[in-house]
Structure 1
């Protein structure tokens, strides 16, 4: 089975991929969830059971024995069988309001419908063959705005005409291709097509049966200080829907990686595609809990244990980051602890039920005084196979040159990497089903100790640490000191840490960038050329870039191209004059009007409605101009081209496709800023770049990408 829908009360229709196509099977199904009194003082749930009897959403109630926590014994709980999956949340809210506040605790409530079905029925949602896909897209003005459906692209064919004609032809193409997965530019295209069709909902067919269902509404949320937008979600009978606007995993991995996580999490492909990494990790943990006879709480109610003010201060420190040595450094080596946080969890037995367990009085966690139970933790058991499998995949990658095999393995490796990356932050998430802040603090404490120990050992063996970020170190040889072989030092540190320190590679040179208004190093801004890489052959793959404009989403394509062009000149010459000469040539393109406006588009996240902004920024101007074409919500992105930065209001910007000019002075300043990031390690700021541009001096041959490598060689 690879997807399931719920056509009527008490029914589930499974869709199975076969060698020749697909087949469906229908079976009776009523989702179930559980309730228990919050404490023994609350007595039984006889009153609640009586209230539920005869409720229109309830099919049956019964009692079963389950554990409600990993460190708890089995107890009697009330099982509630519900008519439909979408009734579970509504009924749970009603139950939570019965009796006094907090009298009842609910379990196994807020599961997505297809995941719940697989969990309760023991169904594996991993398809027996690779699903076939079909791309479906429409202009943003159609799916986000109010324009009629006059254009849709199916695979590589663009269909135009009246809305009814387009809807009919799209349905015909989908029927002919009969894909297992529809990959949509926006899931909003589905209701748009149904609304445009001249056939009734019960007759228009994009799935393997007529009709569609909306399973979630659009919403705006805030996470880690950023406003996000979650689009509405839809399902079609017999097909999985992937919304490209709402699929982090497909963007970061590929179909093979997603299917690997389907098998591990038990979430069918459609629900996995729209899930966050934390949601997938939660699903893996829910399956583990279910296998161990433990129910999953609806809301996390584990209180944080008492800590002294000093412990709070020491615990709330995060990972360790060294102040980088600003400048350009030759012959730099990068080493990383392999999956540091997951391996700390695994080797130190960190888990919500083991940390500060109460059965030991020890100072296990460095600097915090937390004890960790000796009983094996659940979180290490969950992560161990993921860690081991990723290591095996990486070993297979080193042994194969087959492109298809490499693509499949790289997708799986990337998918597992994201799960391992998220497992640490998830422990500090307030609403995590199986998280605990003390786990988060303990992991950080161990990581700080390991990175400082590694620094000490490198320095003892003649190596200088230039920079370090949590699990990565950049080192170079100390002058006038004898160095121990790096492999030997890394092996020593690995043994001490019980976490492997991997040699990631060497850079011919690496530059660490200072903060814009300070001489101190910017913690996450650096760039360098990989050892022996040929920029002419490898292009940007010859370099590693972090934090500078070329890595920032909002940077226009032309500015990215300019910065990478200047990076190559910097690589050849290390000469600010040569870099500025090259910049002058690129600015000439801008001043002559030779740069396409499509290469000058700025992409900004919207944090609130236009009327809520107090400053009239370019983003606000773009929002006001876009309001006539798109219904943008906070958390979505607005694109614009700056056409006159001195103007007021909407005249300041134009929307992509409508811009027939641009403000050369504005984009010149963006290019100057990007240039200063490249030259900052040499002590040059934006004022220095502007001063160099203002001079009518010699133009170096190197700025043209040819001639002598001697920075003094120049021509008028």
Structure 2
């Protein structure tokens, strides 16, 4: 069995291999990580002589590797200098010295190109030694949680295991303190029991936690905050529990500090990362994949990427895709992972640039209420385009000019880029990365259709979801500036084929008597054309699938669908002013952009369930009460098909607010912080929330979220909001009335009712229907 988690010391690696009863360590003392350098022969010879005296270097040699996918495509290999190092921790330092010292002193910038530099230690180790870190048995998991306020206070008594208080766990057999402990117990100033200067409840909590760790012997610790690792160790030392350890051996290590980053214009925050011996740590606040797919999705990605579980847990979707590419490139293509993306965008004339910079095809929504609507979409459109047409960095505009491949060259629609399918590899690189994932997802969906037992179905859904996110990212990642094997021409070619596919589908659907009421990227909403007896939709779908080589599938049928119009920015600014805001307040003046309008719709499936996209009920920031109200508005519209009935429900919900019948906790707003508090120029609600978090000693960094209830939107001070750790017994009635009206407008705007008309109706004297109470 292969090891599943690893620890790196200065001169050794400890591998942990799962057994039937736990896990066993093996110490590996002979491991030398490698960095590869390419450049002119004389420059490499000079660099080799310089590195021979470097104490970090264990060995130097020259090997032949492909520097990129093009070299494999044309059957070439380059001579590279291989530098073996004493320790994993020396890799990045050596890379900085090569570029910043050795190259700068004697050669022109860019003389050396480095490979296999920025690989995570566990992934590098598995890659170098051919280890598959996929767990060999079911993993035992222990969830450890603490809320933000308790974490800031260092209050370990608030810790919960699997949702239950650790302090109140009475199952530990040896509940009695030894004699020395009993004598040390006293009372603090607040009446709490203490041991020395530390509350005795903290000691009892840690003892219970230690007992659970010993009894359950978990393989994975799922923590709500990674900072629990140093906190628990520090508190154990304070209460004199020298034997306390979260790992299977004593000690812990900080792997990386916290940092804030920006990706695709969105600010994110990565908390510090820690390691304990013999157990993998999953920090739920820093694991997108855990939130989406849980342990089953993580285990699947460990198998497909070769990243150990802990590294897979904190890796982004793009990181997981890159890991899969790196492993495939190394194992099957003899291509190393470049430290930097060197290949620039090729020269194109203005006409080609104009055609290439268009993105995916979109059919503007027919705003309004539509009946008998069918949603159809192309299964994994972009990944299948890549595989169907062989789009890959080495095939787009390929320079391989042998007679065998010239006849097999195709041209990308609109762009004229040549696509060569020749070369030594039977399958181009990107398709070889994606085809197994597509096959696995199709297999999971097929097995789910057979209605398996719930335990099996849950795992299949998790694995399918994990695959979906990687497939979603594969297209955009080709245009990402730091993608190891990305190339902008691939991104443009995929879009060009997607537009061609959408237009082919449009023509065949319209010829078959169907009208497209909306279409975006890979999904189309169609309804029968008036006065036409359309062809069976299944027949049209089959024809389109055969024509483009990508399955077009029916995703659902609807009794009705409403496409929501774009909100006018002027109206949003006016509403902001009405609520006491200013046109400079980003929280109140922001209006939906075009892309948002294209994904704003709701409808009722023939199965009776509702589907929502883009409107408030699907937005993370929307308070629970507002989201529940909007769902009630939709249900009223479904029952009555009358805007007046929806306004009746709004009136009743406004009455609940005015009477104080709404729990303030159901009015919490969640907002992502985009910059440090000091960088905000205006007194927004977010600033008020950040200041209140600071008062309670709770850190909030750009990229993290804040939660608050608006209590006085006119205040423009820290008193404008309250946060969850505080006692909240009031709320700003006018502000939340506005939120309800906005939610109602999203439901009624497809029928021509704007917020002015809605307000006029609910403020007048009207007779409330009994049907408005049927929620």
TM-score range (shorter-chain normalised) is over 0.9
Correspondence list, 1:684-699, <5 A:
684-699=753-768
* Alpha-carbon distance, 1:83 to partner: 2.3
2:646 match: 579
1:253 match: 293
SS in 1 for 2:597: strand
1:536 match: none
1:6 match: 7
In structure 1, C-alpha distance between the alignment counterparts of 2:497 and 2:242, rounded to whole Å: 59
* Alpha-carbon distance, 1:203 to partner: 5.1
- Root-mean-square deviation (CA, aligned residues, Å) is 1.9
Distance 1:502 1:7, change over 3 A: closer
* Alpha-carbon distance, 1:159 to partner: 3.6
SS in 1 for 2:37: strand
In structure 2, C-alpha distance between the alignment counterparts of 1:571 and 1:548, rounded to whole Å: 17
Is 1:411 matched up with 2:462?
A: yes
1:396 match: 447
In structure 2, C-alpha distance between the alignment counterparts of 1:648 and 1:300, rounded to whole Å: 47
* Alpha-carbon distance, 1:405 to partner: 1.1
Is 1:643 matched up with 2:684?
A: no
Correspondence list, 1:201-600, <5 A:
204-291=244-331, 292-359=333-400, 364-375=411-422, 376-517=427-568, 522-533=597-608, 542-600=609-667
Structure 1, unmatched stretches of 5+, are 534-541, 707-716
In structure 1, C-alpha distance between the alignment counterparts of 2:43 and 2:29, rounded to whole Å: 31
Distance 1:19 1:604, change over 3 A: same
1:539 match: none
In structure 2, C-alpha distance between the alignment counterparts of 1:175 and 1:51, rounded to whole Å: 52
* Alpha-carbon distance, 1:30 to partner: 2.7
Is 1:660 matched up with 2:721?
A: no
Task: Decide whether the 8 Å contact of 1:477 with 1:483 is kept in 2.
Answer: yes
In structure 1, C-alpha distance between the alignment counterparts of 2:88 and 2:701, rounded to whole Å: 29
SS in 2 for 1:36: strand
Bigger Cα displacement from structure 2, 91-100 vs 675-684 = 91-100
* Alpha-carbon distance, 1:590 to partner: 1.2
Task: Decide whether the 8 Å contact of 1:557 with 1:600 is kept in 2.
Answer: yes
Task: Decide whether the 8 Å contact of 2:10 with 2:89 is kept in 1.
Answer: no
Task: Decide whether the 8 Å contact of 1:3 with 1:114 is kept in 2.
Answer: no
SS in 2 for 1:253: helix
Task: Decide whether the 8 Å contact of 2:305 with 2:320 is kept in 1.
Answer: yes
In structure 1, C-alpha distance between the alignment counterparts of 2:233 and 2:161, rounded to whole Å: 16
Question: Among 83, 86, 92, which residue is 1:83 paired with?
Answer: 86
Is 1:153 matched up with 2:151?
A: no
2:226 match: 187
In structure 2, C-alpha distance between the alignment counterparts of 1:2 and 1:323, rounded to whole Å: 53
2:129 match: 121
Task: Decide whether the 8 Å contact of 1:34 with 1:77 is kept in 2.
Answer: no
* Alpha-carbon distance, 1:50 to partner: 2.5
Task: Decide whether the 8 Å contact of 1:58 with 1:81 is kept in 2.
Answer: yes
Task: Decide whether the 8 Å contact of 1:201 with 1:211 is kept in 2.
Answer: no
Correspondence list, 1:128-143, <5 A:
128-143=136-151
SS in 2 for 1:522: helix
Question: Among 644, 648, 671, which residue is 1:604 paired with?
Answer: 671
In structure 2, C-alpha distance between the alignment counterparts of 1:452 and 1:7, rounded to whole Å: 54
In structure 2, C-alpha distance between the alignment counterparts of 1:94 and 1:156, rounded to whole Å: 49
In structure 2, C-alpha distance between the alignment counterparts of 1:54 and 1:147, rounded to whole Å: 48
Distance 1:447 1:605, change over 3 A: same
Task: Decide whether the 8 Å contact of 2:145 with 2:163 is kept in 1.
Answer: no
In structure 1, C-alpha distance between the alignment counterparts of 2:52 and 2:65, rounded to whole Å: 22
2:171 match: none
Task: Decide whether the 8 Å contact of 2:363 with 2:518 is kept in 1.
Answer: yes
2:65 match: 66
In structure 2, C-alpha distance between the alignment counterparts of 1:64 and 1:236, rounded to whole Å: 37
In structure 2, C-alpha distance between the alignment counterparts of 1:149 and 1:217, rounded to whole Å: 22
Task: After superposition, give the CA deviation of every residue in 1:622-666 in whole Å (9 maximum; x if it has no partner).
Answer: 111111221111111111110111112111101114222111211
* Alpha-carbon distance, 1:216 to partner: 1.3
SS in 2 for 1:254: helix
Task: Decide whether the 8 Å contact of 2:680 with 2:687 is kept in 1.
Answer: yes
* Alpha-carbon distance, 1:7 to partner: 5.0
Task: Decide whether the 8 Å contact of 1:327 with 1:513 is kept in 2.
Answer: yes
Task: Decide whether the 8 Å contact of 1:601 with 1:640 is kept in 2.
Answer: yes
SS in 1 for 2:557: strand
SS in 1 for 2:358: coil
Task: Decide whether the 8 Å contact of 2:636 with 2:645 is kept in 1.
Answer: yes
TM-score under structure 1 length normalisation: 0.94
1:104 match: 112
Task: After superposition, give the CA deviation of every residue in 1:353-389 in whole Å (9 maximum; x if it has no partner).
Answer: 1111134686611111100112241111111111112
Task: After superposition, give the CA deviation of every residue in 1:409-454 in whole Å (9 maximum; x if it has no partner).
Answer: 1111111111111110110100000110000000001001111111
2:177 match: none
Task: After superposition, give the CA deviation of every residue in 1:272-304 in whole Å (9 maximum; x if it has no partner).
Answer: 111111111111111111112111101111111
Distance 1:126 1:234, change over 3 A: same
1:28 match: 29
1:170 match: 209
In structure 1, C-alpha distance between the alignment counterparts of 2:558 and 2:567, rounded to whole Å: 25
SS in 1 for 2:470: helix
In structure 2, C-alpha distance between the alignment counterparts of 1:623 and 1:152, rounded to whole Å: 24
1:196 match: 235
Distance 1:363 1:369, change over 3 A: farther
In structure 2, C-alpha distance between the alignment counterparts of 1:662 and 1:90, rounded to whole Å: 54
In structure 2, C-alpha distance between the alignment counterparts of 1:654 and 1:660, rounded to whole Å: 10
* Alpha-carbon distance, 1:93 to partner: 1.0
Task: Decide whether the 8 Å contact of 2:38 with 2:79 is kept in 1.
Answer: no
Task: Decide whether the 8 Å contact of 2:69 with 2:335 is kept in 1.
Answer: yes
* Alpha-carbon distance, 1:255 to partner: 1.7
Task: Decide whether the 8 Å contact of 1:3 with 1:268 is kept in 2.
Answer: yes
* Alpha-carbon distance, 1:254 to partner: 2.5
In structure 2, C-alpha distance between the alignment counterparts of 1:175 and 1:139, rounded to whole Å: 24
SS in 1 for 2:363: coil
In structure 2, C-alpha distance between the alignment counterparts of 1:49 and 1:401, rounded to whole Å: 60
Task: Decide whether the 8 Å contact of 1:221 with 1:227 is kept in 2.
Answer: yes
